[in-house]
Amino acid sequence: MAKINNKTKIEVTDGVLIPARDDSSIFSAWRIAFYGAISVLVLLPVLSPEPYCHVFKFVVGFNEDWHFDFASSGLVKTFEVTVLSIICALIIGLLVGLGRISRYPVINRICTVYVEVIRGIPLLVQLFYIYYALAKFVKIMDISAAVIAMAICYGAYISEIFRAGIQSIPKGQMEAALALGMTRSQAIYRIILPQTIKVVLPPIGNEFIALLKDSSLVSILAVSDLLRRGREYASTAFYYFETYTMVAIIYLILTLFFSRLVAIMEERMKTDVNQG
């Protein structure tokens, strides 16, 4: 694996194009897409309430009088799965990332094998596998199975980000800490990880967006997320095209919104680094 220095941005191929202010063409493309999507989201239900307005209410979780119903909201479910998964994936990713730079060969090997195995299996297959494997032993809530599967998968990718981030910190930092009498774990906790955070936050933001998109896969596990609510609506009302148009638009708006957020965060980090 190639080492990267402190200033390198860790590139993640899976994300959307991230708009940054110095890249005006992507930024305006982002604007067109984002405001375009919002206009479509507003115009379709206004111009043609049947079925678009009903789809929107059904999927996002409003009842007939526009009262928000938390329990039946596909949007809330999607966020629930995404946020819980990313939290678990971050914990797994940090531990495995540290394991991969461990001096103990056994830990090192276990973590590397985990990453290789997980990255070699499609997420959808993992979801099926974990769901039915777990079902063999315990009766598990649908959303937990989904979160466990997503976390195990994304933990592997995020561990790579942590590992690359940790290795991007110059070797002299660890040496200086050791020379001052710190133990290796003190040095990692006090010196290396605080510097790693800045490097890994943007790529982790991208993983969050990727996970948000991939969370739609859990609709096969009887989790009533955005996509599944759409399927439920479509299969009773037979408005397939209209329903999936709305679902796609909602995903697009979410993704674009968060990618902008990540870009802003990245810019902040840059100026933070420059100003100290």
Partner 1 sequence: MSTRVKVSNVSKNFGHVVALNNVSCEVKQGDVFFIIGSSGSGKSTLLRCINRLENVTSGDIWIENDLVTGPKANIRKIREETGMVFQSFNLFPHLNVLNNITLSPRIVKKVSIEEAEEKARILLKRVGLLEKERAYPEQLSGGQQQRVAIARALAMNPMVMLFDEPTSALDPEMTKEVLDVMKDLADEGMTMMVVSHEMGFAKAAANKVVYMDNAEIIEMGTPQQIFDNPQKERTQRFLRNVLRT
Residues of this chain that interact with partner 1 (CB under 8 A) are 170, 172-173, 175-183, 186, 190-191, 194-195, 276
What DSSP designation does 68 have?
Answer: B
Give me the residues paired with residue 68 across strands: 62
Contact 207, 158 (CB under 8 A): yes
For the bound state, the minimum distance from the C-beta of residue 199 to partner 1, rounded and expressed in Å, comes to: 12
113 or 180: CB nearest partner 1: 180
For the bound state, the minimum distance from the C-beta of residue 245 to partner 1, rounded and expressed in Å, comes to: 47
For the bound state, the minimum distance from the C-beta of residue 165 to partner 1, rounded and expressed in Å, comes to: 14
- C-alpha triplet 78, 88, 222: angle, nearest 5°: 35
| Separation of alpha carbons 204 and 197, rounded Å | 10
| Separation of alpha carbons 198 and 203, rounded Å | 10
Tokens, residue 169: 């910190």
38 or 182: CB nearest partner 1: 182
For the bound state, the minimum distance from the C-beta of residue 269 to partner 1, rounded and expressed in Å, comes to: 12
109 or 184: CB nearest partner 1: 184
31 or 184: CB nearest partner 1: 184
| Separation of alpha carbons 70 and 184, rounded Å | 47
| Sign, CA torsion 132/134/135/141 | negative
67 or 171: CB nearest partner 1: 171
For the bound state, the minimum distance from the C-beta of residue 132 to partner 1, rounded and expressed in Å, comes to: 46
Tokens, residue 267: 């810019």
